[in-house]
Structures are given as structure tokens and as C-alpha cells.
Amino acid sequence: MPHITLECSANVKMDFQSFFKDLSAELVATGDAARLGIKCRVVKNEEYYIIDGDQDYKMVNLLYRLREGRTQETLSTFANIGMNVMEKYLQKDISEKKIILSTEIKELKKGLDLTKNSVR
């Protein structure tokens, strides 16, 4: 853990591999995320409607799915790290006032989030 999903409108352009590399490094540096447990993916939505339908608008939502048990402070740190890394990679869209960024954290119940990791 964590499972990380970057959901975005299809018009978002950035180096997703570098984004996930930087995000993962910052999460691991907190001591509250194990590198071997981090799994990242992008979900691009071809169909979207933002504000008034202007096709130049963009949206990005960073979703963390984590096993329960981390402190509120740790969860807040993860959310802030995510927002900061998104802001770094999407600065041009932010300055053009074309994008909405959000973070979300979902905690998974122990015993109901089964994992089999053969990478280790």
C-alpha cells in the first residue's frame, strides 16, 4: 500500500512516469509508505463535463487507497504531498486557470483488503 490512482480528463498532458516517481519518493521519505507496496496508475476519462462544458478545462483527482491505521496527521501529509506534486507538474495549467486539482484518501478495512505480492 498505497494504491494510487490519478484520474484525469483526457486533455491532461504530463510525464506520468516522472510524476509517479517523484510522488512515490516523497511518500516513502515520510516513513509511512513502503516502496514495495506502492502501485500507481492513470485513468484518463475521454468523456467529461467541467463547469460549463468548455473543453479546455481539465481535472485531476489523486486517489490514495490505504490500509486503515495511519494517523490523521499522516493522512494529511499524504494529501499535501499529492497536491504539491500535482501543482509542480501542472503549473502551466494552474497559471492559465484551466484546471481543477483534488486529492482523496480511502482507507481499506483490515482483513478485507487481501493482497498477494509475488514481486518481493
pLDDT digits (tens, 9 = 90+) for 80-109: 999 999 999 999 999 999 999 999 999 988
Helices (H), 30-112: 72-89, 91-95
pLDDT band at 1 (very low <50, low <70, confident <90, very high): low
Q: What confidence score (pLDDT) does residue 102 get?
A: 98
Does pLDDT of 118 surpass 80? no
Q: Which residue has the higher pLDDT, 1 or 77?
A: 77
Q: Quick check: pTM over 0.85?
A: yes
Q: Say which amino acid occupies 54.
A: D
Q: What confidence score (pLDDT) does residue 120 get?
A: 63
| CATH code, residues 3-108 | 3.30.429.10
Q: Across residues 42-57, what is the average pLDDT?
A: 96
Q: Which of 47, 56, 60, 111 is nearest to 89 (CA)?
A: 60
Average pLDDT across the chain, whole number: 93
pLDDT band at 111 (very low <50, low <70, confident <90, very high): confident
Q: What confidence score (pLDDT) does residue 108 get?
A: 87
Q: How far is CA 23 from CA 37, 54, 86, in A?
A: 14, 29, 9
Tell me how far apart the alpha carbons of residues 120 and 107 are, in angstroms, rounded to a whole number: 23
